[in-house]
Amino acid sequence: MLSVQNVAAGYEQSVVLENVSINAQKGAVTAVLGRNGVGKTTLIKSIIGLIKPMAGKIEWEHEDITSLPPEERVRKGIGYVPQGREIFSSLTVEENLLLGLEALPKKANPSQILAEVYELFPILKEMLHRKGGDLSGGQQQQLAIARALMGQPKLLLLDEPMEGIQPSIVQLIRDVIVKMAKEKMVGIVLVEHSLDLAFSCADYFYIFDRGTVVAQGRVSETNMHDIQQFLTV
């Protein structure tokens, strides 16, 4: 469903990704791993359209989306939760969530989606009228994911959603990721630092080093020890 083909991408003075190809399927969690600065965020930004590839192609549901702007990709069912949980701090939890509805097709039922989101993240229902900026880091991260889910994405791009968060919330977010993939058949692309954490919820993995894919495979067929070398500093 998502196919990144031979993509090169980067910034004005530097090429970060070179000849990168990855796939992600509906109903599966695809982990993107690698040390700091190897290009994971650059890949996610290329998929959502914040960075325009210098070469290669990105296909989504068999359509070439390489030159589409981000908002059109969102309308086509791609959700994005950036690193650093960019919620609106001066808006309430409820207002933040309602902004996520922008991506929804007209026929969808917003109150049902809100109910589903509260079921996944009960704390958000309790804090509906609190300002986003007054939430804890873990609560903000739940809000950022919940807001993306309001658009009922078919593919969800999560850039280190469990970074710097207490273990109980990490577990909750991990459970939501697995549930979205297995029960709602959402495709998940999960950028993650920790091999243990990625392997505890992913079906497929890609390991990046210096802008290219150096290992990939099915989690169930891979011995963590064999790939640890790409991740230790």
Ligand X SMILES: Nc1ncnc2c1ncn2[C@@H]1O[C@H](COP(=O)(O)OP(=O)(O)OP(=O)(O)O)[C@@H](O)[C@H]1O
- List residues binding ligand X (CB under 6 A): 11, 14, 16, 34, 36-42, 83
Residue type, 120: L
Cβ neighbours for 84, distance < 8 A, ≥ 6 positions apart: none
Residue with Cβ nearer ligand X (92 or 194): 194
Residue with Cβ nearer ligand X (122 or 164): 164
DSSP state of 101: G
CA-to-CA distance for 73 and 155, rounded, in angstroms?
Answer: 10
Nearest distance, CB of residue 231 and ligand X, angstroms: 11
Residue with Cβ nearer ligand X (96 or 216): 216
Nearest distance, CB of residue 195 and ligand X, angstroms: 13
Nearest distance, CB of residue 47 and ligand X, angstroms: 12
Nearest distance, CB of residue 44 and ligand X, angstroms: 8
Residue ranges in the chain assigned as alpha helix (H): 40-48, 70-75, 93-99, 110-120, 122-126, 137-150, 167-184, 195-201, 224-227
Residue with Cβ nearer ligand X (30 or 96): 30
Nearest distance, CB of residue 75 and ligand X, angstroms: 25
Could you tell me which of 78, 9, 5, 24 has the C-alpha nearest to residue 48?
Answer: 78
Residue with Cβ nearer ligand X (36 or 232): 36
- Residue 108, helix vs strand vs coil: coil
